[in-house]
Structure 1
Amino acid sequence: MKRQISFTQALATVVGSVIGAGVFFKIGTITAQTGSTSMTLFVWILAGVISIASGLTVSEIAASLKVNGAIKYLDYTYGRVWGFLFGWAQMIVYFPAQIGALSSIFGVQFVSLFGISNKFSNLIAILLVLFLFGINLIGTKVSSKMQSVITVLKIIPIVLIIIWGIFNQNRINIQILPLTVGAGKSMAGGLSQGLLSALFAFEGWIVVTNLANEVKNPEKDLSRAIIAGLSIITLIYVLINYTFLTVLPIHQLVNNNNAAFEASSKLFGQFGGKLVTVGILISVYGAVNAFMLTGMRTPYILAQDNLLPYSNKIGKTNIHTGVPIIGAVIVNLIAIIMILLGNFNVLTDMLVFVMWTFNTMLSIAVLVLRKREPELKRPFSVPWYPLIPLISIIGGVFIVVSTIINQFILSMIGIGLTLLGMPIYYYKQKQNKANNNLKN
């Protein structure tokens, strides 16, 4: 793999991975969970604060360790089994679920925009996966440059909605303080469920670490891309959700998957609403491409350490393009299966739960390494240590525990899929040991 990704392209990958469907479609779920405008806005702000704290914390490891991806950060800190389980969870849950859920949304919006029967939405979703798979096979440089262009294009409709919303003369007055929840809802339940949903919209920034060996100046550019990207995203999310809440009354937002279209139609007229739907399609398209660009590298990274069956094949890249083709096939095949089986909200809640379990471990890793290796060179140090890591850790623990309490079956499925990797890990360890003994 060549160092060919600039800071701008790394930043575009962060923003492109994170801003996808969640910014447009989670408002309906969150308003249903919180029942109030004040708690809805608060969970978006809180999700941003936790994500930025986590990004700042992980950035210290990304700048300090000259290894490729968060998998290796866990390897280095806790031992190989934890890095493997994180990679395994990314390979069979996180990336396929992201690609599958986002492609499904693309399919639903596409058939709605062009008046096609809903029964073709899954076909459209699968065709999108196959098309982007083909684009990514051409090479990293092509797909990363396309990502930069798509990121700019996807920001345009979001900025238009925000600007028109700010200057909207018919704004609905909404309550921001004090924090309340809707009738029949508990404060703890509304906060925890709403936060889990909002955090899906922030998912994706960690995947840029999979490109560490291809970023031109990883010691500086990885942390800069993560921090700048998350700051921009938080501002955008709070402003656009404020706009939705001031354009449509909350009862029209609750469980409404077309909230973005209806709000845009009210701001711009029917044609403007359709134009924004095109922008949503571009946004989702860019997010799917970003997850595909980074996701195909997870099986490759695991295979490079001979931790998967047929690692000698999975751990190879195309001699001309540097693309890990078999890794791409694995992730996209699972994604297509999820499209055929999937439920958008179930997939997103599961991937948030699984990833935040490991994100919390990554934040704790900063504390471990500060204690264990005080002499380690740190080109970037997390500010206000240990406050920022503690915010990330407390937020992560809250997410994991509240999911287990509120969505026990879903959390057990996520844990079960992750632990399925254990037999493979120990089988490969035993096989590798036997091969080493034969050589000796």
Structure 2
Amino acid sequence: MATNSLKKEISFSGALSTVMGTVIGAGVFFKAAAVVSHTQSAGLTLFAWLFAGFLTICGGLTVAELATAIPKTGGPIRYIEVTYGKLPSFLLGWAQSIIYFPANIAALSIIFATQFIHLFQLNNQFLVPLAMITAVSVTGINLLGTKIAANVQSFTLLIKLLPILVIVVAGLIQPGQVEVGVTDLSIGGDNSWASGFSAALLATLFAYDGWLNVGNIAGEMKQPEKDLPKAIILGLGSVAIVYWVINFVYLKTLPADQIAGNLNASSDVANQLFGNLGGRIVTLGILISVYGALNGYTMTGIRVPFALALKDEFPFSKHLKKISQKTNIPYIAAIAQLVIACIMMTLGTFDLLTDMLIFVMWSFSMLLFAAVFILRKRAPEMHRPYKVPLYPVVPLIAMLGGGFILIMTLITTPGLALTGIGVTAIGIPVYYYMKKKK
């Protein structure tokens, strides 16, 4: 008979590759167009990428304290439960299980299929079937076991960095076509500085999205107290450097007006640097990058409904907490996640699928940042192998940045924010139904 305890198989390298592999995905290639569209300025674009990296690192440093003090599978939903109670933790798990992870898997699968069709000049009618095949293949890899999925994550991380490295090195060495004013933080176009910068920041933060998910596998790490903080700090710091430098190369190679709104900007840059062959290399790099990110979201997303099901807090918990006797993987949770993602592929586009819950996810991130202060006061005796450096400055920076994002999102795109809140709120009656049933 299968056991419900997950094996501790993930090492520091596996956790590091999960952080970087999940974060470095479609965003580094596709979000440059959106950021430049909002800023119309090279200097402000680069500042947005740098500032988003700074905020993400502050958030990572803050949440790492919770992750090591509460190293349980399910990650953030358990930190929220310990601090605020079961309803808020259920709502986070609900949002992640029903929308967040499946939507990201669906969106990344669609992007993978889109790039695959572009590379091999196929008909667009194959888009959704190819996207579904991609998602099925990644889920299949994860069903083979955590160690295999982590190895795939490490492999794709190494491969995906190669085209980025080639573009960066060639772009820095070759004379630029455009002079980039790094210190000029003025905004172009008709946007006000605050609205333009906040929209650009939100776009960059999507590119950094995924850093929080490594906490989901803390319960399967060999040394979470030691390895998890290092993985988050080193992983996010490296990602921030990669993002800033490659965007500098974009802006040095192409004028801002040729990048704004141009989803093929990275290919155009490669064509400028290497000719037509460069464009195909970049497309191949994008395929590998997206596949690695898809694997990261699949691997971490499976653990969320499983963690809730272990305590009979989720619909169909009896089935979702089943683990394969051979591979020790929550296979029903994996299949359920795949089915929801495939349904989403038929209903939405990349932006529709990924933008809806960004506001909600940052709302929960704010709760996590505040949780560090609350638990320090409420439970000073709690074992904390790692503590946030420069406390309380670093958590306060994370909270101020998050607050700015939430307020500006409500002002500039209230429909998006309210939709995210509404979808999450559906989980409230579900929670009370499950509680009554229990």
TM-score (norm 2): 0.97
Larger deviation, residues 331-340 vs 207-216:
331-340
* Offset, 1:32: 0.8
Question: In the alignment, what sits opposite 1:67?
Answer: 72
Match of 2:148 in 1: 142
For 2:369, the equivalent position in structure 1 comes to 363
Aligned partner of 2:382 in structure 1 is 376
Residue of structure 2 in register with 1:436 after alignment: none
Counterpart of 1:291 in structure 2 is 297
Structure 1 residue aligned with 2:238, among 218, 232, 235? 232
Contact 1:360 1:396 in 2 (8 A): yes
Tell me, in whole angstroms, the C-alpha distance in 1 between the residues paired with 2:114 and 2:31: 15
> Unpaired segments of 5 or more residues in structure 2?
1-5
Once the two structures are superposed, residues 332-377 of structure 1 have per-residue CA deviations (whole angstroms, 9 ceiling, x without a partner) of 2221122222222233222321211111110000010111112222
Q: Does 1:205 align with 2:211?
A: yes
Task: Report deviation, 1:287.
Answer: 0.4
Q: Distance in 2 between matches of 1:212 and 1:228?
A: 17
Give 2:61's aligned residue: 56
Report what 1:36 is aligned to: 41
Q: Deviations over 1:211-270 (max 9, x none)?
A: 111100011111111111100000000000111011111111010010011101111111
How far, CA to CA, are the matches of 1:286 and 1:229 in structure 2? 15
> How far apart are 1:118 and its partner, in Å?
2.0
Q: Distance in 1 between matches of 2:432 and 2:338?
A: 26
Q: Give CA deviations for 1:352-411 in whole Å, capped at 9, x if unaligned.
A: 212111111100000101111122221111111111000111111111121121111111
Correspondence for 1:346 among 331, 349, 352: 352
Q: What residue number does 1:417 align with? A: 423
Q: Residues of 2 paired with 1:326 and 1:415: CA distance?
A: 28
Residue 110 of structure 1 aligns with an amino acid whose one-letter code is F
Match of 2:398 among 387, 392, 395: 392
Does structure 2 retain, via aligned residues, the 8 Å contact 1:196–1:399? yes
For the 8 Å contact 1:18–1:203, the answer to whether it is kept is yes
The answer on whether the counterparts of 1:28 and 1:256 sit within 8 Å (CA) in structure 2 is yes
User: C-alpha offsets along residues 32-62 of structure 1, whole Å, 9 cap, x if unaligned?
Assistant: 1111111111110111011000000000111
CA contact (8 A) 2:72 2:216 kept: no
Equivalent position amino acid for 1:14 in 2:
V
Give unpaired runs (5+ residues) of structure 1.
433-440
Residues 1:89 and 2:95 aligned together = yes
Bigger shift: residues 229-238 or 141-150: 141-150
Letter in 1 for 2:417: S
1:272 Cα offset (Å): 1.7
Q: Which residue of the partner structure matches residue 264 of structure 1?
A: 270
Aligned to 2:3: none
For the pair 1:169 / 2:175, whether they are aligned, the reply is: yes
> Structure 2 CA distance, aligned partners of 1:352 and 1:223?
24
- Whether the 8 Å CA contact 1:97–1:351 is kept in 2: the answer is no
C-alpha deviations, 1:100-133, integer Å up to 9, x for none? Answer: 1111111111111111122222221111001111
Q: Give me the whole-angstrom Cα distance separating, in 1, the residues matched to 2:357 and 2:110.
A: 16
Residue 157 in 1 paired to residue 163 in 2? Answer: yes
Equivalences, count: 432
CA distance in 1, matches of 2:410, 2:355: 11
Q: Contact (CA 8 Å) 1:196, 1:349: kept in 2 or not?
A: no
Q: Which residue of 1 aligns with 2:106?
A: 100
- What is the CA–CA distance in structure 2 between the aligned matches of 1:235 and 1:174, rounded to whole Å? 17
Cα offset, 1:13, TM superposition: 0.5
Q: Is the 8 A contact 1:300 1:327 kept in 2?
A: yes
Equivalent-residue separation in structure 1 for 2:109 and 2:360 (angstroms): 20
Q: Distance in 2 between matches of 1:346 and 1:40?
A: 23
CA RMSD, Structure 1 to Structure 2 (Å): 1.1
**Residue from 410, 414, 430 that aligns with 1:408:** 414
| Residue of structure 2 in register with 1:326 after alignment | 332
- Tell me how far apart the structure 2 counterparts of residues 283 and 421 of structure 1 sit (CA, whole Å): 33
User: Contact between 1:31 and 1:254, CA under 8 Å: does it hold in 2?
Assistant: yes
Contact 1:197 1:349 in 2 (8 A): no
**CA distance in structure 1 between the partners assigned to 2:208 and 2:396 by the alignment:** 19
2: distance between equivalents of 1:223 and 1:170?
38
1:4 aligns with 2:9: yes
| 8 A contact 1:101–1:339 mirrored in 2 | yes
* One-letter identity of the residue aligned with 1:263: V
Consecutive aligned runs of 4 or more in structure 1 exceeding 6 Å deviation: none
Work out whether residues 14 and 229 of structure 1, in 8 Å CA contact, stay in contact via their aligned partners in 2.
Answer: yes
Tell me whether 408-417 or 229-238 shows the greater mean CA deviation.
408-417
How many angstroms does 1:142 deviate by?
0.9
- Report the Cα offset of residue 11 of structure 1: 0.4
Does the C-alpha gap of structure 1 residues 66 and 109 become closer, same or farther in structure 2, counting only changes over 3 Å? closer
Q: What displacement does 1:330 show?
A: 1.9
Q: Which moved more, 1:390-399 or 1:339-348?
A: 339-348
Seen in structure 2, the aligned counterparts of structure 1 residues 366 and 207 have a Cα distance that, compared at 3 Å, is same
1:28 partner letter: A
Offset, 1:77: 0.5
CA contact (8 A) 1:72 1:83 kept: yes
CA distance in 2, matches of 1:218, 1:139: 19
Is 1:23 the equivalent of 2:64?
A: no
> Equivalents in 1 of 2:330, 2:257: separation in Å?
47
Shift of 1:325: 1.2
C-alpha distance in 2 between matches for 1:360 and 1:315: 29
- Structure-2 separation of matches of 1:168 and 1:123: 41
Letter in 1 for 2:12: F
Deviates further, 319-328 or 344-353: 344-353
Structure 2 partner of 1:427: 433
The amino acid that maps onto 2:393 is L
